[in-house]
Chains A and B, each alone.
Chain A
Amino acid sequence: MNDSAYTTESTAAAQRDRDLDDPMVTVENLKKHFPLFEGIFQKKAGEVRAVDGVSFSIAEGETFGLVGESGSGKTTTGRSMLRLTEPTSGRVEIDGQNVVDLSDGELKRFRRNMQIVHQDPASSLNPRHRVKSIIEAPLKIHDYGDSEARLERVEELLDMVDLPREFMYRYPGQLSGGQKQRVGIARAVALNPKFVVLDEPTSALDVSVQARIINILEEIQEEFGITYLFITHDLSLLKNVADRIGVMYLGRLVEVGDVDSVFGSPQHPYSRALLSAISTISEEDELAKPDRITLDGEVPDPREKPSGCAFRSRCAHEFDACAVEEPELYERGPDQVARCFLHDDRFEEGAEWE
């Protein structure tokens, strides 16, 4: 496993291997298919396989980044993991508990361990409730002390997200986008969850505000050892927040690995194209990313995914085998796998890579 090319990173990777032996979150073959109906009798006419067999694990206190374009299934993955939409099949283990098996009552109790920060702070806070009652809601639901204890906790949480305590009595409409998102974060961490899904927490915000929010999230993680799943389409952001990342395309993970390996040497043509499309602000960054690769066409209709490798319709390296079967995840480093036949010894074309 420890190839010579990766010796510099092998100690860090070994550490991670130990942590990954006992991960906080494990996702196995998670699927979410949305049925399509048509006609007046609403006959089932097919399905969209939004998430189609996704597996990964996250070590305790680590941030796993999920990246992909719109429609790749990254948000559906996050939501199915928390059972905010019911997964079709698969296994999601959070802190040793398979979430998919939980009954409704058990699930409600278990939710204190897993929370989510939504994408759009403007629409994820009830405009008619004051900040205090928004942050207090999870505390009430999970019977956290009396009103005095709850008030104390709300104050503590506001301090944590760097908002003045008097904001407690404001309505979301009186807050700026960044302030609203801080309230969303305070609500998510109110019950000291073990695992939080961050679904594009900063994509609705300006960069100067985004930087503040990211710093707050990192401080909270450091202090409480929370495990994050960070969903975003912004690769440069992910480079700065994630320990490991997974690249999604049409409901499948095409590359998974530690952040430095994937950014340093992307092993799937899609990850490489994504990285090459990043706009940069310095010459240094310009050199750090692959040369611009333009992808042909557009993401195919998820109802009619290409056979074999779903990415082949846009891939410059496509060859016969790609249409026949889907590549498995090939090991490309101590902590890096890529779903591409270019890495299969059976095919000579593998030599083209690098």
Chain B
Amino acid sequence: MKTRKIVQAAMALTLTTAMFTGCAGTNSSITVISREDGSGTRDAFTELMGILVDDTDNTVASAEISNSTSVVMQSVVGNKNAIGYISLGSLNDEVKAVSVDGVAATAENINDGSYQVARPFNIATKEDISELALDFVDYILSADGQAIIEEEGYISVSDAESYTSAGLTGTIVIAGSTSVAPVMEVLADEYKALNEGVTIEIQQTGSSAGMTSTIEGACDIGMASRDVKDSEIAEGLIPTVIGMDGIAVIVNHENAVENLTSEQIRGIYTGEITDWSEIQ
């Protein structure tokens, strides 16, 4: 009696395994990887690609959701059928960035407007900002600050004059987007080198958390990798664009696809195209 039960269990297990292997086969069905709702990168990507129509995000429900750039990249590295999107500044050799409408994802192409998938990096401050924080904002927008933004792979937005130190001292607390933070760290280091006696503390909390902290006065400057919302501006935030960031559409190196049109990307992300064989 007991043996029979064990045999039954073993059979059931084999059957389930067989079921899985059965549906595997040779497949090239696309694994769509997206970011979480509310992510600055996702907001920008869905809007630019026409996936967001009339405030409705049409991203296919079966899309995998990752909450960080590194997990998106790791997933694409490990899956030859995956497609994802990340900030251009984070792109490296582990994955392949495809051209969009025949234009490669490079800083130059974003600068001359031919690569369309780009979004603003914002900082937000309150009216009663400290003199020191204001000086730091001036530095970011100065020729020196913008040069650093370009060096880091982003696109400058201001052509102000170069910066001269005002000799201020004190502490600046900056909080917000994890996408903006890496370039902010570099800016802060350079600023500290120019201004002795200044400490800058950068907290990576995410765009919305950064905006909330700035409203509440917990930090001096908030960072957002998306547009600052009207509800946040109503609370007294003043947004400033400090640079532009491209969004790279990435696939695995084993994937033969080199170029996708915007329609194809939209099709993939809305679930109309589900297999790589549908893409020429």
Partners in one complex: no
Q: List residues of B whose CB falls within 8 A of some A CB.
A: none
Q: List residues of A whose CB falls within 8 A of some B CB.
A: none
